[in-house]
Amino acid sequence: MNTMNTRGPLLQVIAGTLLLTLAVMAVMADEPKNHDFDVIRDEASVPPYQLPPILVSAEGKPITTPEEWFNIRRPQIMALFGNLVYGVVPQPESPVRTTFEVVKKDEGYMGGKATRKDVRIKFENAKGSAEMQILVFTPNGVGKPAPAFLLHSFAGTRDDGHDAHPDKPGFTRNGLPLGEFFKRGFGFVVVPQSELVRHNEVEFLKGVHPLFYRAGQSFPKANEWGVIATVSWSASRAMDYLETDKHIDAKRIAAMGHSKMGKATLWTCAQDQRFALAILAQSGCGGAALWKRNFGENMEKMVTRFPYWLCRNAAKFARNEDDLPVDQHMLLACLAPRPVYVASGAEDLWADPRGEYLSAYHASEVYRLLGKTGLDTEASPPVDRVVASGHVGYHNRAGGHSVEMFDWLRFLEFAEGHFTRSK
């Protein structure tokens, strides 16, 4: 047998199979959103749109004082977002009892730089029970309660992902730069997204929702909480615990989230004014970006791929964003006068960096009414330029949909500046 004559074709077959396999793997690894070509991805295609006015009441009255903002306009805006976009948390028939338990404590975390506490938060009433486990890290040796970041996290809290990385000093196994936080005197709190509701929940038969159902109910009503609102509720329950922890300064908590978790962070901080500062990283539609630009991900894409991230009422505005009586600049404004930082990625067109900036710019109208400094120009800053001298911060980092060390450092600097001034 002449093996030399068969080796060439065999190698060609192997090489072809390998290339095909690599191509398939590349397609599988690519995100589906990158193949949605029926969305707007260039500024020239953005349709004309008109934003609802922030400082005009539902009755048409101009809002000209802080008192009118807090007593009239802000409640109107929050009610619209609650009932039409994220969903409201219903009043349970049976009162929910919340308990906290530190199930594990490590005072020598990351070589003694910090103390780690694994905290179980349990919810119980006559309908049943649910629980989540958060992680609380506090720097050692600071001698006083520490300010902290609360991270709305995609990652769970019951595996080894938040253990100190054996080969990267200052990092966790899943990549969080906690050493940098401890060095600056910050604590860090991890609130997982999937313990009370699944990432793309469609049943709502487990987790925390059944505790809130009324007799005969088995699914949220059209204006009741979807997934994002549930994730936000979990952060507020984590804040309940933090107010009891003597090592945490609960008056100086910055809530932070990326992508879907950035959307949750915005709703968390709008509802719960105990959070002192908000950081929204590439939060896109349903987060900082404007719905009415219809750029990148839009309402139709969201409610199709993730049908219950928002409340069911939101689906009425798919392909009909012009009829939505609010837009996200109004929700950003509801954070005022607390500082907010919006971060974009220049290549993350799905999240609409320009729309995120414009939302922060238009929200600045309320910050100025309340005597704070917002963004003062409609023009977006150049890539990698940080605008963070006032109460509304922004940057558009080179790169895509991720949180890089550049981002972490800017967030820390922003929080340090404001928390130092608020002491």
pLDDT at res. 179:
98
pLDDT reading at 32 higher than 70: no
Mean pLDDT computed over 236-260: 98
Residues sharing a CB contact under 8 Å with residue 91, sequence separation 6 or more, in sequence order: 212
Mean pLDDT computed over 293-301: 96
CA angle 419, 289, 407 (to 5 degrees): 45
pLDDT band at 30 (very low <50, low <70, confident <90, very high): low
pLDDT reading at 39 higher than 80: yes
Question: How far apart (Å, rounded) are the C-alpha atoms in residues 269 and 378?
Answer: 25
pLDDT band at 34 (very low <50, low <70, confident <90, very high): low
CA dihedral 342, 225, 59, 54 (to 10 degrees): 0
The string of pLDDT tens digits covering residues 86-103 is: 999 999 999 999 999 999
Q: Provide the CB-side half-sphere exposure for 87 (13 A, CA).
A: 28
Question: How far apart (Å, rounded) are the C-alpha atoms in residues 193 and 172?
Answer: 18
Question: How far apart (Å, rounded) are the C-alpha atoms in residues 152 and 259?
Answer: 10
Residues sharing a CB contact under 8 Å with residue 413, sequence separation 6 or more, in sequence order: 388
pLDDT band at 12 (very low <50, low <70, confident <90, very high): low
Mean pLDDT computed over 168-192: 98
pLDDT at res. 422:
62
Residue 352 is encoded by which pair of tokens? 């609409």
pLDDT reading at 13 higher than 50: no
pLDDT band at 25 (very low <50, low <70, confident <90, very high): very low
Lowest-pLDDT range of 20-29, 166-175, 316-325: 20-29
pLDDT band at 272 (very low <50, low <70, confident <90, very high): very high
The string of pLDDT tens digits covering residues 49-77 is: 999 999 999 999 999 999 999 999 999 99
Distances (CA, A) of 253 to 86, 220, 240, 397: 23, 30, 12, 24
SS3 content of the chain, % helix, strand, coil (to 5): 40, 20, 40
Question: How far apart (Å, rounded) are the C-alpha atoms in residues 170 and 214?
Answer: 47
CA dihedral 151, 157, 160, 165 (to 10 degrees): 10
Token pair 């997204």: residue: 193
Residues sharing a CB contact under 8 Å with residue 368, sequence separation 6 or more, in sequence order: 374
pLDDT reading at 377 higher than 90: yes
Question: How far apart (Å, rounded) are the C-alpha atoms in residues 306 and 350?
Answer: 15
pLDDT at res. 17:
44
Mean pLDDT computed over 246-267: 98
pLDDT reading at 251 higher than 50: yes
Spatial contact of 142 and 117, defined as CB atoms under 8 Å apart = no
- Number of residues that make up the chain: 423
The string of pLDDT tens digits covering residues 205-243 is: 999 999 999 999 999 999 999 999 999 999 999 999 999
pLDDT band at 134 (very low <50, low <70, confident <90, very high): very high
DSSP 13-61: HHHHHHHHHHHHHHHHHS-GGGG-TTSB-SGGGPPP--PPPSSB-TTS-
258 dihedral zone (left: phi>0; alpha: psi -120 to 50; beta) = beta
Task: Please tell me whether residue 149 adopts helix, strand or coil conformation.
Answer: strand
- Catalytic (active-site) positions: 259, 401
pLDDT reading at 421 higher than 90: no
Q: DSSP letter for 252, please.
A: E
pLDDT band at 11 (very low <50, low <70, confident <90, very high): very low
Comparison of pLDDT for 201 and 30, the residue scoring more: 201
Max alpha carbon distance in the chain (Å)?
94
Closest CA relative to residue 163, chosen from 203, 108, 207: 108
Question: How far apart (Å, rounded) are the C-alpha atoms in residues 182 and 149?
Answer: 11
Question: How far apart (Å, rounded) are the C-alpha atoms in residues 70 and 64?
Answer: 11
Task: Please tell me whether residue 324 adopts helix, strand or coil conformation.
Answer: coil
pLDDT reading at 19 higher than 50: no
Lowest-pLDDT range of 37-46, 142-151, 302-311, 345-354: 37-46
Q: DSSP letter for 318, please.
A: T
Comparison of pLDDT for 46 and 20, the residue scoring more: 46
Question: How far apart (Å, rounded) are the C-alpha atoms in residues 405 and 11?
Answer: 44
Lowest-pLDDT range of 15-29, 224-238, 241-255, 381-395: 15-29
Question: How far apart (Å, rounded) are the C-alpha atoms in residues 175 and 266?
Answer: 23
Question: How far apart (Å, rounded) are the C-alpha atoms in residues 402 and 367?
Answer: 28
pLDDT reading at 16 higher than 90: no
Other CB atoms within 10 A of residue 381 CB: 14
Question: How far apart (Å, rounded) are the C-alpha atoms in residues 202 and 307?
Answer: 8
